[in-house]
Amino acid sequence: MIRDDAHHARWMELALEQARAALTTTDVPIGAVIIGPDGSVVATGHNEREATGDPTAHAEVLALRAAAAALKDTGHDDGWRLAQCTLVVTLEPCAMCAGAIVLARIPRVVFGAWDEKAGASGSVFEVLREPRLNHWVEVFPGVREDECAALLTGFFRSMR
């Protein structure tokens, strides 16, 4: 698996594109991309809570669901274990998403902006590296942080 900063930055651009897609609705612009072991995009997602009325329709959860389905169709293990993938997301995952990441056995998370109010990857909680859980995640925070934060700040400013 490729883990250098240049790849993280390039992958974050894909997540930012997904976040911008959420702007077509009133959803918070958060985007996620699942990268496979060969560096290719397996699945994408962006927030759809407002669009679908589903409180679990966070970018990460939607990307995890799509990746599991895509990998199951290719005969990759049982599909739901994403043990060779990387999740790239524009905002630090919340507790729900971090729990889903752990359960999906994602080994690496790359995120952009910190979420000082609800983050579960080091800000408020530390779910991804909780030693009492049976799976731990390597975390790469702050990738293109300013761009990710600016997208969110601009969105919330426009909502006021």
94 labelled binding-site residue: yes
End-to-end CA distance of the chain: 42
85 labelled binding-site residue: no
60 noted as active-site residue: yes
Q: Looking at 13, 17, 60, 130, which residue is catalytic?
A: 60
148 labelled binding-site residue: no
Which residues are the active-site residues?
A: 60
Annotated binding-site ranges for Zn(2+): 58, 94, 97
Binding residue ranges: 58, 94, 97
